[in-house]
Structure 1
């Protein structure tokens, strides 16, 4: 009898934690469907009296949220593709290719992980200013083109690939590029998807760097545009919640669609003897 009781207690605790985590998101969605001013009532209602999409209509027709949504999608997608290519190639090279100074160079790269990103923002901004990349999407993308964490993640996964498989391909006469594209990349699929999710989420939610680099409001991404909108309509809670829903839903849908590969990528090596 103890086992079922323990299982029920654990499941109840997990359900409570899940509900506590989802509660703010459900409240956000509920308020986004309320009429203007309805959420300010005391006590605030849990559900809208008459659900409406007027707030979303206002966002896209008057606040220009469609443009900002496209800007975020463009930046996040481009960074995910380009950064993913660089990180996968570099991670594989550090894991399976022998070259002089490989271990020392990788150790040096890892030491940069302890440096806060904010420390490098000023010199990086000045460098981009000298290159004429301020107020361009290229300036937003440059800092994330290669990620030390991404290289590390791919390297750790690539190290689990059998060397015999790569040697067999070399014996068959395959070039290194052919081995990488035809043999290695398919085997790295779980970690590539995991890295893509990390990169897309990080870029989509990034607020500080786009705010610094993009001076033209027409090029702002969703987090920056939403912050500016909140200053203009500080009392319009329903509109702000609608903007938050527009910001959260795409990445939430992406995570749910890719969670199988995401979990598989994170669990790599956990059962390795």
Structure 2
């Protein structure tokens, strides 16, 4: 299969997923690239996206073991046209959850054919100086692995006779779809809200630069007083990570319990995994 063009779709409020996806694309060595940045509400508002490029690459972060729910309206309106798709999820070294399985089911139902799956690690959204979780990741080793993943995917497609030859043969996709539906029913929709408070602001440090307002993917921050709408905040903490003066802060609910849990779950450095 000859691949000359790619459509790259990603959501990456703190930049980790974007770095992994960019390295993957470099490895594939495709010149004709179109990008859809789902950080931007105008991109998410598109009612229908028909895939005309030779391949689709989707990169999403894992929030509470799942892909961000508010991306569903966009993802479920993609028209795949039987095109190959690469799926990449990025999690904070705690658990990859079932986000990949969830994304696989969605894209399969949208007439896309998965030819490669990758799970990578990025710095956890809750990571702070007192509680570093996958600090600095994806690091250079992660990005080199993502680039190699892209190279191997490109080689696989070049050797394939057609999409049937390249497509991953995953067992029992309908059972997986039913499992995802069940897990959705029993797992909290906004688990980040359980562990953290709304990002607070130190008015003595704030420079009123507006970067937090611009970087918020949900447009949850008021431009005038910089307050945050509780009903819109998804606890991605883009406002904290991108603040140049360190004026915003992550605060945990039941700090002792949450700190113990995150330390226990994230103490071992996990490595990227991919299937071709």
Q: TM-score range by the shorter chain?
A: under 0.3
Q: Would you tell me which structure has more helix in proportion to its own residues?
A: 1
- Between Structure 1 and Structure 2, which shows a larger proportion of strand residues? 2
TM-score by length of 1: 0.24
Higher Cα radius of gyration: 1
